Amino acid sequence: MSSENKKKEGIVPEPSLRRMPCYLAYLKLAKRRSQEYVSSTHIARDMGVDPTQVTKDLSYTSIVGKTRVGYEVNTLIDVLEDFLGFRKLDKAYLFGAGSLGNALLHDHGLDQYGLKIVAAFDIDPKVVGKTIEGVPILHVSEFEKMKDENIEVGILTVPAEFAQDVAQQMAEGGIKGIWNFTPIRIRLGDNCVVQDTSLYAHLAVMFNRMNSIKK
Amino acid sequence: MSSENKKKEGIVPEPSLRRMPCYLAYLKLAKRRSQEYVSSTHIARDMGVDPTQVTKDLSYTSIVGKTRVGYEVNTLIDVLEDFLGFRKLDKAYLFGAGSLGNALLHDHGLDQYGLKIVAAFDIDPKVVGKTIEGVPILHVSEFEKMKDENIEVGILTVPAEFAQDVAQQMAEGGIKGIWNFTPIRIRLGDNCVVQDTSLYAHLAVMFNRMNSIKK
DNA sequence: ATTTATTAATGAATATTTTCTTTAATCGAA
DNA sequence: TTCGATTAAAGAAAATATTCATTAATAAAT
């Protein structure tokens, strides 16, 4: 009975997962202020969200809070980082060293969150052979030869028209998780996860909300 | 009666808004293939989504489809780009020229989606005074003097501990929309829109889904 | 002209997510 | 010890989003 109460194979709702890094950031600031415990009530008040949502979100991890005290800051940070996969360092390949790919190569924050880009692939002879921020740019054909490496994450930043094809190659090459920055919806078998992160989609939401408050 | 049938002041659901740029990308590829019309059925089939969801999403714009024909590709592209605000070019300030801010300065794709970074602000004397990708990096104190400019969008890429403070300055300086790349939940009055785009949140979702299919 | 198949649009039903409510635990004060 | 205040947790209710089912329109085929 202890393992049947989790519905749907214990899948964690995406909204909850997306909120967790926010809690983590908040907790790190709390730690800096030498707080030993934080209650869900305080987290909620400071962040402007619903208190029960905080406890519900955190309940997906292994943490348990103490009544009338809250959660221990240090252990909650540890538990969250572990749960979110920010502890172990995954190596990643970048596909498409154009403008956006280039941009990601400049962001060293990724390292702190468990992702390290070890090589990039492109077809443009103007960039192949170069090194950006210490990461070598190879020709896509080289990817074939590197299949045996223990690399499961691929970042997709190619132009839209190549997105589906390249994604397919990635999956065939053993990539298990594709971080898709193109606005194209990738269709693959279900042994490969696709995470869409279209910056422009977020921009669209912001523009729309700005117009809404204007009138 | 023609204007009371829209519930809740005609607010467009965020999931719908986020899907629209995907439709747009799909349509641009269709246009390249010289397709004159596309039906919601085909869009849905190609993208692997529900057909009624497509029509429902598109119904928030002014477009109307022709029965048994579909939507005219060119006009739908125009309507969507206009609706999403990708047509007019908004000028933007960047706050925080660190690793991630630097990365965004390298992404020229933003221009195509209606956003042009015209200046960046930082406090680090090592970067202030420099120019990255043609964009000057100024000291934050300079922001005060530039209030009169017609700039409504601000991109927030400062370290977490400064996020709330800088956001407040931005709002006071006339910024109407903050594109927040920090994992901090910003609290401001409601004359300023905050759009959260935490890359690491997406990374967390991907890691979690990868683990789910693994076991 | 008539039929058939395909489609957009609309409203209903389902599923999901968020918020509200209740309960039980326990720390600190009286 | 006893009481009151604060809290996590769990379940119920409400809000939201997605999917399903139906309808009406119409282009193409017969």
A31-45, B74-88, B137-151 — which is least confidently predicted?
A: B137-151
In this structure, are residues B179 and A202 in contact, taking their beta carbons and an 8 Å threshold? yes
Confidence (pLDDT) at B5: 31
Instruction: Give the Cα separation of A165 and B83 in Å (integer).
Output: 30
User: Which of B's residues 12-41 have CB atoms within 7 A of nucleic strand C?
Assistant: 39-41
Confidence (pLDDT) at A6: 32
Q: Is the CB of B69 under 7 A from strand C?
A: yes
Confidence (pLDDT) at B146: 85
In this structure, are residues A155 and A93 in contact, taking their beta carbons and an 8 Å threshold? yes
Query: If you average pLDDT over residues A13-33, what whole number do you get?
Result: 96
Confidence (pLDDT) at A45: 94
Phi, psi angle pair for A203, to nearest 5°: -60, -45
Instruction: Give the Cα separation of B139 and A199 in Å (integer).
Output: 27
Beta-sheet pairing, B115-122 with B37-38 = unpaired
Q: Is the CB of A136 under 7 A from strand D?
A: no
Interface check for B89 against chain A (CB to CB < 8 A): the answer is: no
- B204/A21 touch (CB, cutoff 8 Å), yes or no: yes
Q: Is the CB of B15 under 7 A from strand D?
A: yes
Confidence (pLDDT) at B185: 96
Phi, psi angle pair for B7, to nearest 5°: -75, 150
Q: Which residue of B has its CA nearest to A88?
A: B207
Tokens of A139: 């020709």
**What are the tens digits of pLDDT across the range B84-114?**
999 999 999 999 999 999 999 999 999 999 9
Q: Is the CB of A164 under 7 A from strand D?
A: no
DSSP track, A112-148: HTTEEEEEEEE--TTTTT-EETTEEEEETHHHHHTTT
How many angstroms separate the CA of residue B69 from the nearest CA in chain A?
Answer: 23
**What are the tens digits of pLDDT across the range A200-209?**
999 999 999 9
Beta-sheet pairing, A135-139 with A153-156 = unpaired
Classify residue B53 as exposed, middle or buried by CB count within 10 Å of its CB (0-12, 13-18, 19+). Answer: middle
Interface check for A33 against chain B (CB to CB < 8 A): the answer is: no
Query: If you average pLDDT over residues B121-146, what whole number do you get?
Result: 96
Percent of chain A with pLDDT over 70: 95
